[in-house]
Homo-oligomer: A and B are copies of this chain.
């Protein structure tokens, strides 16, 4: 599991973890059935609190991306997230793009950026 977190970031640690794992699943790096590290293991690896990992796993479970079997660890179940709020995702996309524009990036560069990221992801 190649996960990097930044404890200093304003983004909650548990969310950094869900973001990373979600991306790994979307990229196909983590396939259906792949077992995830145990909560204890990952907590030790990342040097964070057990509850933090537990929260992250619970979120991913809620999205239907992983299944947690009591006493038997967690594993990737599917690449289909539950109907994440499309509207929320669009808002998030819109806000990020606006910030990139305000940061001075020309439109062409933003499109390249999006294309590059999409190349890493395995579309259905």
Decide yes or no whether A40 CB sits under 8 A from chain B: no
Max count, chain B CB within 10 A of own CB: residue among A95, A113, A123: A95
| Complex interface: chain B residues within 8 A of A9 (CB) | 88
Distance between Cα atoms of A110 and B118 in the complex (Å)? 9
Which of chain B's residues has its CB closest to A109's CB?
B123
Question: Number of A residues contacting the other chain (C-beta, 8 Å)?
Answer: 54
Would you give the 0/1 interface string for A1-17, flagging 1 where the beta carbon is closer than 8 Å to chain B?
00000011101100000
**Are B113 and A90 neighbours in the complex by a CB distance under 8 Å?**
yes
Distance between Cα atoms of A7 and B115 in the complex (Å)? 34
| Complex interface: chain B residues within 8 A of A12 (CB) | 70
Distance between Cα atoms of A79 and B79 in the complex (Å)? 32
Partner of A83, one of B79, B100, B103: B103
**Are B103 and A117 neighbours in the complex by a CB distance under 8 Å?**
no
- The A21-69 residues at the B interface (CB cut-off 8 A) are 22-23, 25-27, 62-63, 65, 67, 69
Not counting A83-B103, A92-B96, a sample of 5 additional A-B residue pairs whose C-beta atoms are within 8 angstroms of each other reads A89-B96, A89-B100, A101-B123, A106-B123, A107-B121
